Amino acid sequence: MLTNFSTEYAQRSDDELLELATQRHSLTQEAVTALESELRRRNLTESDRLEHQKFVKHQERREYRGHRRKIFGKRQFSWRELLSGFVALGVIAWAYFSLPKAYHLKPDWEEAAVCAVIASVFVIVGWRSLWGNITFWIALILSASIQLAVVHAWVLRTGRLNRSAGKLATLFGFVLFFAIYGCFKLLRRSFYGEGSTESG
């Protein structure tokens, strides 16, 4: 039996042997004896095992972070993304505070504007990976404009929105954005094909 283990371990790589050494508590006594003999033959020490264990843990952390990035997108903003985001939020804030005064809009636009601004901000922050895509911004502008008009008509019809109605009006902005953006993507595919790399 010991000979069989010795033959098997002799055919394994250093990394495989060091990994086995980390799990030696699960091996039989014959396997442990053969493993230690092979480690001595290759001059692999306890420090080598610890270094290998650190390397494996480091690789596992990198793979975990990579898996998270695939699921949730990039975790960090670049300076360009941050600048673009602040500019976009600045334009939205300016439109919210300045346009009603400039065009003498009635106060009943305020609730509709709040819902449109909240939905737009969450879309911009949540889908920053699409900031370089002109289709994203066109869809956002269209969805925010339509949301503003629809919610304003809703306010005129029913009066001031309660909390539940406000949440629903804001959610309407999300749904509208995805519907418009999805339509644009389908149109692009119909014109350029599935594998199109056209920008915007």
pLDDT confidence of residue 80: 66
Q: Average pLDDT, stretch 100-123? A: 72
Q: Which tokens go with 141?
A: 């502008």
Please say whether the beta carbons of 172 and 151 come within 8 A.
yes
Lowest pLDDT segment from 5-9, 36-40, 117-121, 134-138: 117-121
> For the range 160-163, what are the long-range contacts, defined as Cβ-Cβ under 8 Å and sequence gap of 24 or more?
160/111, 161/111, 161/115
How many CA within 13 A on the CB side of residue 8?
14
pLDDT in tens, 42-65: 998 888 888 888 888 888 888 776
pTM of the model: 0.47
Task: Please tell me the distance from the alpha carbon of residue 138 to that of residue 164, in angstroms, as a whole number.
Answer: 29
Per-residue model confidence (pLDDT) at position 38: 87
Q: What is the CA radius of gyration of the chain?
A: 30
What pLDDT, on a 0 to 100 scale, did the predictor assign at position 195? Answer: 47
pLDDT at 198: 44
